[in-house]
Structure 1
């Protein structure tokens, strides 16, 4: 698959794909005889994985470390697991923080809705 096809299929910019490869966030992509990137299904799975992890807020540095560990083979399985356990803990904390923010936003919206209703009632009240 070309970089254009992968970009469209996975909804990720070509620049981002090149960047991810350049910094080691995804393993190097094979190139055809003309030097054009030729993504395999396995490459696409890596891109999907990284995209998912990034959307959850995992730092690029952590993911680079993960890819490096993965490329070292099975002797790093425990280290990879520990890396993900730590990231999971941090994600849970961020989710809890976001829930609190959402509750606060819901409260503020309700307050403003009540203020709008009150103001509309005052405007409709006939003058004496």
Structure 2
């Protein structure tokens, strides 16, 4: 079991973010210690890591909530969940292609500037 501070550090979230996701219903309310501190299991840590992944790929909190509800509903929702993850994967692949294109443009501009610098330096 992990305290909220340990969970936050392990996942790379702030404590406030974990509390936020709990309030939004993306995370079941945490078990509590005798001192009333939140405690998280490895399974909950893994779920937080997945939430972080989805957020980093641009998924909205509301959409993650819908996905979480599907998970809680059980295996009957697997086809829908697969579609959501496939769509998010495609969105990420499209973003990567866009970033590659931007990188090529920056590299071309740098090459031009370096060439201009060499010409100015020899002139």
Interval containing the TM-score (normalised by the shorter chain): 0.7 to 0.9
SS of 1:87's partner is: helix
Paired with 1:30 and 1:80, the residues of 2 have a C-alpha distance of: 27
- Mean alpha-carbon deviation: is it higher for 52-61 or for 14-23? 52-61
Paired with 1:116 and 1:61, the residues of 2 have a C-alpha distance of: 50
SS of 1:38's partner is: strand
Paired with 1:107 and 1:16, the residues of 2 have a C-alpha distance of: 40
Aligned residues: 122
SS of 2:106's partner is: helix
Task: Report the CA distance between 1:34 and its aligned residue.
Answer: 3.0
Task: Report the CA distance between 1:71 and its aligned residue.
Answer: 0.8
> Which residue in 2 is equivalent to 1:67?
68
Q: CA offsets per residue over residues 23-58 of structure 1, 9 Å max, x none? A: 123333222233211011111111111112222333
Task: Report the CA distance between 1:73 and its aligned residue.
Answer: 1.2
